[in-house]
């Protein structure tokens, strides 16, 4: 299994001829999550063959237009396509009046339920959880309330070695206990250690999405050890005053966060249209954090699960 991120939009504020505003699709444990929904999101989903029907949760970081203007067109298209399944939009409560306005005036015949699941902007909170994945909010520092998201896989049960089951004739109830970490005591009273009975555990994967924010070192505690970190890098460090004044980060600041968080890989995006050459962003970030990549629309980044060797 693996975790993958498809970048649908990588521009800040304005769409350009090469970049759409912010949106991403995360695939994790066969679940598809849409993160932010800038203008043109549905066009990009079609372009990159991402299934509308597999999207059941949308996570909105904040209510600036370049992160939500695509939401209402996407809802309309889902309706025209005959969707029946509930769609949950995770966002700050201030989205509710706009969403209700849309449903009242443009979506009076919506064929599927759209549920707003509000979360607080100023504190960390688990906002989604099932048997496979947990999603936690990360309070950020922007001109309006803004949140990042941390997606973490849950640990899988251990895989027991088939040859041990056969040779020791382990009964089924004991197999379940072993998968959950227990040692095995045979009918003859002999103890077999769990690590000798099972394969090395699979390391759960994680992805963090840090949307619009001024430099905020405090978030590194939440991000510690994340496999892939996406962090906005709207400006180059020569414009760090402008970044601070507008509630954004520079490439150097994004790299500093990745370094302090001990991230596996850093993705930077949300580039200001004022810059024509994003290679300067990569050079700046790599001066602090080598494993940095600038995202382009259509890029797919993947990390595969690996065994934890003890």
- Catalytic residue list: 66
Query: Could you identify the residue written with the tokens 């906002």?
Result: 127
- Structure-block tokens of residue 64: 């600036």
Alpha helices in the chain (DSSP H): 41-47, 65-68, 71-80, 96-105, 162-168, 172-179, 194-197, 220-223, 240-246, 251-261, 279-286
Query: Could you identify the residue written with the tokens 């970049």?
Result: 19
267, 230 contact by CB (below 8 A): yes
CB count, 10 Å around CB of 304?
A: 10
What distance in Å separates the CA atoms of residue 157 and residue 88, rounded to the nearest whole number?
A: 29
- Provide CB contacts within 8 A for 305, sequence distance 6+: 1, 2, 3, 202, 203, 204, 205
Instruction: Give counts: helices (H), strands (E), the chain.
Output: 11, 16
């Amino acid at each position: 299994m693996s975790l993958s991120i498809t970048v649908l939009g990588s521009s800040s504020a304005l769409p350009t001829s090469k970049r759409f505003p912010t949106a991403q699709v995360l695939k994790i444990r066969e679940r598809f999550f849409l993160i932010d929904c800038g203008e043109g999101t549905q066009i990009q989903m079609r372009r990159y063959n991402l299934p509308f029907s597999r999207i059941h949760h949308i996570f909105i970081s904040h209510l600036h237009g370049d992160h939500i203007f695509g939401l209402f067109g996407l809802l309309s298209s889902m309706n025209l396509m005959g969707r029946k399944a509930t769609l949950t939009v995770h966002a700050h409560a201030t989205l509710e009046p706009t969403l209700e306005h849309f449903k009242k005036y443009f979506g009076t015949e919506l064929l599927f339920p759209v549920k707003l699941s509000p979360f607080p902007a100023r504190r960390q909170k688990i906002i989604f959880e099932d048997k496979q994945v947990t999603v936690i909010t990360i309070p950020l520092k922007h001109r309006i309330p803004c949140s990042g998201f941390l997606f973490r896989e849950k640990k899988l049960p251990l895989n027991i070695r088939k040859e041990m089951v056969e040779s020791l004739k382990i009964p089924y109830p004991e197999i379940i206990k072993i998968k959950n970490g227990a040692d095995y005591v045979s009918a003859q009273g002999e103890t077999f250690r769990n690590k000798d009975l099972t394969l090395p555990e699979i390391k759960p994967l994680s992805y963090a999405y840090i949307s619009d924010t001024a430099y905020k070192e405090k978030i590194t505690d939440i991000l510690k050890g994340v496999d892939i970190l996406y962090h906005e890098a709207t400006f180059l460090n020569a414009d760090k005053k402008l970044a601070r004044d507008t509630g954004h980060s520079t490439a150097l600041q994004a790299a500093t966060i990745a370094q302090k968080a001990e991230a596996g890989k850093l993705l930077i995006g949300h580039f200001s249209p004022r810059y024509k050459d994003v290679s300067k962003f990569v050079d700046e970030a790599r001066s602090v954090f080598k494993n940095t990549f600038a995202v382009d629309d259509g890029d797919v980044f993947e990390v595969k699960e690996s065994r934890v060797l003890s």
